[in-house]
Structure 1
Amino acid sequence: MTSRPVRIGLQLQPQHMEYSIIRQAAAEAEELGVDVLFNWDHFYPLSGDPEGLHFECWTMLAAWAEATSRVEIGALVSCNSYRNPELLADMSRTVDHISDGRLILGIGSGWFERDYQEYGYDFGTAGGRLDDLAGALPRIESRWGRLNPPPTRKIPVLIGGGGEKKTLKLVAKHADIWHSFADAETLTRKLGILATHCEGIGRDPAEIEVSVMGKAESRDRMYELGARLFTVHAGGPKPDLTELRDFLAWRDKINA
């Protein structure tokens, strides 16, 4: 069993609210003691009015880098399809510096077809998008090594998704954090598959922090299975941080 402490994330979904409210919620979450502040990488709302208010991911992360001082920040997750890998490496290195080393690079292969259609990206197939991600990750890592100045630290890479043949193999090779959307029963199986992929390349799976969405009814079981980063979410028009407060209290009890 991993000895990592529990960490709590907040995904502040950038939909249906003015930026002033997003700014205020981010500040309140940091004051409450959240460990990681996430947004997401989409161009339109995922729920509610599809034409509702929405803001772009990476511009916001740069603003959060200046507006916060302690929390780690990142996207849950950034879509590989929307930016050239070398550009994404440079963007993440820059936000890493702005934040004094608090950026997590969350990345996934993409899935929201409307984003692709409206912004002119080729949607292709799920398998093709995963293959593109597999090609992008070493390019990002290589570019980090060539930038001047380099990142302030080894930027943690969070990979989201649970595909057992492709995604988990990428997690084993590249990720510091694996974010799973699975329930407890499914997570058990996927952790076994991830361990097998790690064994195949000589990596200790304990090096990878297991991240899940925060659900009060399953958090104790997820903790038993090895999950250590639990992320709750809040969106517009007025973010409710009640659930976040509950998870922070649970974290402090578990970590005591």
Structure 2
Amino acid sequence: MTTRRPVRIAVQLQPQHATYETIRDRAAELEELGVDILFNWDHFFPLNGDPDGAHFESWTMLAALAEQTRRVELGALVNCNSYRNPNLQADMARTIDRISAHATGQGRFIFGTGSGWFERDYDEYAYEFGTVGRRLDALARDLPVIESRWAKLNPPPTRKIPILIGGAGEQKTLRIVATHADIWHSYSDIPTLERKLAVLAAHARDIDRDVSEIEISAGVLDSIAHRSFDDADQLHSMGTTLFTVGLSGPDYDLTVVPDWLAWRDQKNG
């Protein structure tokens, strides 16, 4: 797959094991450094480290960051569709879009979403966990509701809010991506991505959609660990243009970020 899109670098500030003040300050530093997107995640407990460590909720944090920042796009990587009524999700997204437009009039919110997977979140917050298939069916059912609600809200979003869908299931997830997503995110290795892209293209053909309309996004945790851009170079050659650096508290070491921004700038030339 070829693309004319510029490479973009996102940083996921995982909202775990840190104070909110630290998260707020690192977000400001990352915007100053020049990252393109700030993500958090939509969980209620840490995913690694102390399972009962400090943790903060996604959407309320995104609203605060939308007010704080001026340029960078922002969203969850990813929202859990199971936790909130789809009409409410649409209204929350529209509101953050409007908040984020305070500097330029143009919203900066990305609606990153998925079907959910972390069972502890469900159990402790009294949501029905169900099955993978049922959660994906709910996501497919709810996305048209969300898109329809955006068209009814007053005031409306400032722009067509980009929809990012995370996940790589070939039969259901990638069909949902082909139907609704502006961005598809996964943590695929090179051979896996090659196969998934072919599946995604087939789903897009089935609904007569140009698959090049969908931006390809990748997590780059392994590349960061090895301080090597070999994997990122290969992913880019396959059409990936959005790369997300995942950072955890308590301190959020930003030292790797300038290297990724320099790599971005070299690719964008």
TM-score range, shorter chain: over 0.9
The CA distance in 1 between the partners of 2:150 and 2:5, in whole Å, is 27
The equivalent residue for 2:204 is 198
Listed as ranges, the matches of 1:214-225 within 5 Å are 214=220, 215=223, 216-225=229-238
The equivalent residue for 1:232 is 245
The equivalent residue for 1:31 is 32
The equivalent residue for 1:77 is 78
Equivalent residue letter for 2:250:
P
User: What SS does the corresponding residue of 1:145 show, helix, strand or coil?
Assistant: helix
The CA distance in 1 between the partners of 2:135 and 2:246, in whole Å, is 26
Equivalent residue letter for 1:42:
H
The CA distance in 2 between the partners of 1:250 and 1:181, in whole Å, is 19
Equivalent residue letter for 2:257:
L
Matched, 1:169 2:175: yes
The CA distance in 1 between the partners of 2:32 and 2:152, in whole Å, is 36
Deviation at 1:254, TM superposition (A): 0.7
The equivalent residue for 1:18 is 19
Listed as ranges, the matches of 1:1-256 within 5 Å are 1-100=2-101, 101-214=107-220, 215=223, 216-256=229-269
Per-residue CA deviation, residues 21-75 of structure 1 (Å, 9 max, x unaligned), is: 0001000000000000000000000000011000000000000000000000000
Equivalent residue letter for 1:146:
K
Per-residue CA deviation, residues 160-181 of structure 1 (Å, 9 max, x unaligned), is: 0000000000000100000011
User: What SS does the corresponding residue of 1:10 show, helix, strand or coil?
Assistant: strand
Is there any run of 5+ residues in structure 1 with no aligned partner, and where?
none
The CA distance in 2 between the partners of 1:106 and 1:172, in whole Å, is 15
Deviation at 1:217, TM superposition (A): 3.9
Is there any run of 5+ residues in structure 2 with no aligned partner, and where?
102-106, 224-228
Task: Give the number of equivalent residue pairs.
Answer: 256
- CA RMSD of the aligned region, Å? 0.6
The CA distance in 2 between the partners of 1:150 and 1:70, in whole Å, is 21
The CA distance in 2 between the partners of 1:221 and 1:120, in whole Å, is 42
The CA distance in 1 between the partners of 2:128 and 2:246, in whole Å, is 29
The CA distance in 2 between the partners of 1:36 and 1:53, in whole Å, is 24
Q: TM-score, normalised by structure 1?
A: 0.99
User: What SS does the corresponding residue of 1:206 show, helix, strand or coil?
Assistant: helix
User: What SS does the corresponding residue of 1:158 show, helix, strand or coil?
Assistant: strand
The CA distance in 2 between the partners of 1:252 and 1:133, in whole Å, is 36
Per-residue CA deviation, residues 48-103 of structure 1 (Å, 9 max, x unaligned), is: 00110000000000000000000000000000000000000000000000001100
The CA distance in 2 between the partners of 1:14 and 1:204, in whole Å, is 35
Q: TM-score, normalised by structure 2?
A: 0.94
The CA distance in 1 between the partners of 2:49 and 2:261, in whole Å, is 27
The CA distance in 2 between the partners of 1:243 and 1:41, in whole Å, is 24
Equivalent residue letter for 1:147:
L
User: What SS does the corresponding residue of 2:152 show, helix, strand or coil?
Assistant: coil
Per-residue CA deviation, residues 126-153 of structure 1 (Å, 9 max, x unaligned), is: 1110001010100000100111111100
